[in-house]
């Protein structure tokens, strides 16, 4: 059992990424920006020690492409050395790392040339991945190539709510195909490079944001149709493209068919109600600070469905709740773990989101998901009560704690 974070959300100090530009323009809901965040780039040792004190066994972290390649074709060895040092320390604490190569954030030079809308993006992303594997491939076996491409595409290229603020559905579908090509190329490259070095334990996939969609009115045929429509666009189309190279006809040129996954990565938080081409908050009894419905059963249903479709183990690569007062989190953890712990479960790993309070994208600093509270003004860390409960679950591995 483990925890997860992303570089842009906790590191701070980087002015060369798309979210710095976006947040410094005052675009975040609470007026904050990602330059401060949780100062993890300087405090990574302290944060790793906190993880170790909680008994964390697994840690999913991302690395910042804009730090590693601050200019097109110019790689910063100091940044690569920094991540290697951090990873070595994590491993020395008995924690197994999983590295995410892209988690929503793009280098500014990459965004300015069109990002994943540019056909050269596959070549550029693969070159970056090669540099990373050369630097850490001997000590890290597990990788997520791209985190939540569906959210990245929807918010950045269709709804124009996130950078790069494009609001163009045609570009969105083109980005989807190019990101799938990037994943496939990275999957093959990571396996090839590590295999050539004699490693046989490589595990690579991507992490998709999975929402449990239900019709707002189950008796309404249009609501049921739209639920299937959104399920296809947000989940099925993405999963098929990335995992097996299967693309819909309207995307044009085919992707190479094959198997490009060693596990299924699921980020799960909530369920949503689908009306007539609308996505609505589900009117449930328990709500997070972001008004997200708490529905533990969804994590089981989605995991079982993807296991049946793709026939391999499932890793819950993110699962957590926005809960500043820490009144929901303990029960949330209990209920969601209980939902996937049973005889025959396809779920083999669980990563709680998040270790620390972090810069929560357009929500800014206000939305708090951390097992550890962060005072952004002082950068003081305080372990929450729910973290102590999670520590107990990890240590005792007892189903009695989930009852």
**Tens-digit pLDDT profile for residues 286-322:** 999 999 999 999 999 999 999 999 999 999 999 999 9
Burial profile 349-380: b = 16 or more Cβ within 10 angstroms, e = fewer: bbbbbbbbbbbbbbbbbbbbbbbbbbebeebe
What band does 276 get if pLDDT is binned at 50, 70 and 90? very high
**Tens-digit pLDDT profile for residues 23-76:** 999 999 999 999 999 999 999 999 999 999 999 999 999 999 999 999 999 999
| Angle value at C-alpha 157, between 153 and 160, nearest 5 degrees | 120
Task: Please say if the pLDDT value at position 11 is more than 90.
Answer: yes
pTM greater than the 0.75 cutoff: yes
H helix intervals, 54-168: 65-68, 77-92, 108-112, 121-136, 149-153
Evaluate whether 14 touches 67 at the Cβ level (below 8 Å): yes
**Tens-digit pLDDT profile for residues 139-185:** 999 999 999 999 999 999 999 999 999 999 999 999 999 999 999 99
Tell me the DSSP string of 177-228.
HHHHHHHHHHHHHHHHHHHHTT----EEEEEEEEEEEEESSTT-HHHHHHHH
What is the set of domains in the chain, with CATH numbers?
A: 2-402 (3.20.20.80)
Beta bridge partners of 374: 381
């Amino acid at each position: 059992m483990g925890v997860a974070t992303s570089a842009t959300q906790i590191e701070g100090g980087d002015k060369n990424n798309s979210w710095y530009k976006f947040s410094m323009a005052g675009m975040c809901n609470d007026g904050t920006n990602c330059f401060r965040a949780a100062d993890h780039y300087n405090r990574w040792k302290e944060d790793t020690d906190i993880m170790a004190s909680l008994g964390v066994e697994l840690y999913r972290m991302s690395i910042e492409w804009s730090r590693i390649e601050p200019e097109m074709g110019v790689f910063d060895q100091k940044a690569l050395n920094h991540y290697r040092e951090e990873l070595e320390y994590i491993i020395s604490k008995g924690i197994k790392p999983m590295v995410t190569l892209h988690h929503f954030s793009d280098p500014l030079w990459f965004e300015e040339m069109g990002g994943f809308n540019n056909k050269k993006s596959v070549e550029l992303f693969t070159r970056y991945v090669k540099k990373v594997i050369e630097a850490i491939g001997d000590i890290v076996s597990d990788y997520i190539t791209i985190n939540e491409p569906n959210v990245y595409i929807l918010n950045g290229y269709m709804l124009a709510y996130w950078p790069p603020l494009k609001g163009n559905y045609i570009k969105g579908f083109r980005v989807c195909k190019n990101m799938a090509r990037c994943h496939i190329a990275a999957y093959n490259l990571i396996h090839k490079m590590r295999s050539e070095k004699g490693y046989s334990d490589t595990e690579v996939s991507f992490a998709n944001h999975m929402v449990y969609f239900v019709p707002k009115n189950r008796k309404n045929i249009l609501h049921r149709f739209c639920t299937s429509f959104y399920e296809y666009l947000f989940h099925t189309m993405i999963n098929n493209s990335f995992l097996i190279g299967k693309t819909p006809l309207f995307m044009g040129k085919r992707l190479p068919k094959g198997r490009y996954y060693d596990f299924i990565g699921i980020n799960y938080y909530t369920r949503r109600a689908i009306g007539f081409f609308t996505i609505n908050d589900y009117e449930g009894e328990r709500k997070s600070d972001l008004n997200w419905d708490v529905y533990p059963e969804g994590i089981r249903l989605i995991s079982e469905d993807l296991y049946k479709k793709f026939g391999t183990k499932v890793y819950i690569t993110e699962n957590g709740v926005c809960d500043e007062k820490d009144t929901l989190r303990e029960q949330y953890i209990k209920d969601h773990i209980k939902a996937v712990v049973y005889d025959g479960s396809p779920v083999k790993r669980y990563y709680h989101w998040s270790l620390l309070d972090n810069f929560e994208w357009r929500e800014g600093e206000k939305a708090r998901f951390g097992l550890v509270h962060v005072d952004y003004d002082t950068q003081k860390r305080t372990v929450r009560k729910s973290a102590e409960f999670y520590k107990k679950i990890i240590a005792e591995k007892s189903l009695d704690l989930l009852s």
